[in-house]
């Protein structure tokens, strides 16, 4: 939960967004703001929208219904580390196969760093999750947790705020 008040995000001395703190978190104006305001940084995956499906290599997921009119082309989807799953969530999700590059257990949380040829992701999960470096594990991105950015890296869709918890 974030504290109230206003937040300004800066990049090289320029304000990228100024708004209520919770609004900057839930609806960052662009990819730079999203990455600045997420710790660990938001995971970014380059995708191609073709016929209402986002594709990354052989994996795909339907474009969310609220974005059904989205033009075909290249986009980036973002997902916060605590919304990357190693078990299939309920509902629609994209399954990716990533290699475990390192793991960190910090008290009651596990950071699992995942690598593919074209992307690096971090999963942040409650509890101790033991995976071995070099293992290829199924990794799931829940459709309800996706941020969608256009080619100029501007936000065009964010998950509903109740999905941020």
pLDDT for res 67:
86
pLDDT for res 38:
82
Residue 163 pLDDT > 60, yes or no?
Answer: no
- Asked if 117 and 153 sit in the same domain, the reply is yes
- Asked if 80 and 155 sit in the same domain, the reply is yes
pLDDT for res 130:
81
Tell me which long-range contacts 127-131 makes (C-beta under 8 A, separation of at least 24): 129/86, 129/103, 130/103, 131/86, 131/100, 131/103
- Asked if 13 and 87 sit in the same domain, the reply is no
Mean pLDDT of 106-134: 89
The domain tally of the chain equals: 2
pLDDT for res 1:
43
Cα gap 109→127, rounded to integer Å: 5
- Asked if 75 and 2 sit in the same domain, the reply is no
- Asked if 29 and 75 sit in the same domain, the reply is no
- Asked if 8 and 79 sit in the same domain, the reply is no
pLDDT confidence tier of residue 115, bands split at 50, 70 and 90: very high
The predicted-structure confidence for 45-82, as pLDDT tens digits, reads as follows 999 999 999 999 889 999 988 888 899 999 999 999 99
- Asked if 2 and 82 sit in the same domain, the reply is no
- Asked if 52 and 32 sit in the same domain, the reply is no
pLDDT confidence tier of residue 128, bands split at 50, 70 and 90: confident
pLDDT for res 18:
92
- Percent of the chain scoring above 70 in pLDDT: 95
> H/E element holding 31?
helix 31-36
- Asked if 114 and 102 sit in the same domain, the reply is yes
Range of the domain at 18: 1-37
The predicted-structure confidence for 144-158, as pLDDT tens digits, reads as follows 999 999 999 999 999
pLDDT for res 39:
80
The predicted-structure confidence for 72-114, as pLDDT tens digits, reads as follows 999 999 999 999 999 999 989 999 999 999 998 888 888 999 9
pLDDT for res 164:
41
Instruction: Please say whether the beta carbons of 121 and 43 come within 8 A.
Output: yes
Cα gap 92→135, rounded to integer Å: 25
Phi, psi of 103 (to 5 degrees): -135, 150
pLDDT for res 162:
44
- Asked if 4 and 61 sit in the same domain, the reply is no
- Asked if 59 and 108 sit in the same domain, the reply is yes
Instruction: Please say whether the beta carbons of 141 and 84 come within 8 A.
Output: yes
């Amino acid at each position: 939960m974030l504290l109230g008040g206003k937040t300004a995000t800066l990049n090289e001395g320029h304000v990228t967004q100024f708004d209520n703190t919770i609004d900057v978190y839930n609806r960052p104006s662009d990819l730079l703001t999203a990455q600045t305001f997420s710790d660990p940084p938001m995971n970014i995956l380059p995708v191609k929208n073709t016929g209402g499906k986002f594709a990354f290599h052989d994996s795909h997921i339907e474009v969310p219904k609220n974005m059904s009119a989205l033009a075909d082309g290249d986009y980036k989807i973002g997902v916060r580390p605590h919304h990357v799953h190693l078990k299939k969530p309920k509902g629609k999700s994209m399954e990716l196969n990533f290699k475990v590059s390192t793991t960190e257990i910090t008290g009651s949380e596990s950071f699992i760093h995942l690598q593919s040829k074209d992307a690096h992701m971090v999963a942040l999960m409650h509890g101790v999750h033991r995976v071995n470096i070099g293992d290829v594990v199924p990794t799931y991105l829940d459709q309800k947790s996706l941020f969608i950015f256009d080619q100029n890296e501007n936000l065009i869709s964010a998950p509903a705020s109740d999905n941020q918890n």
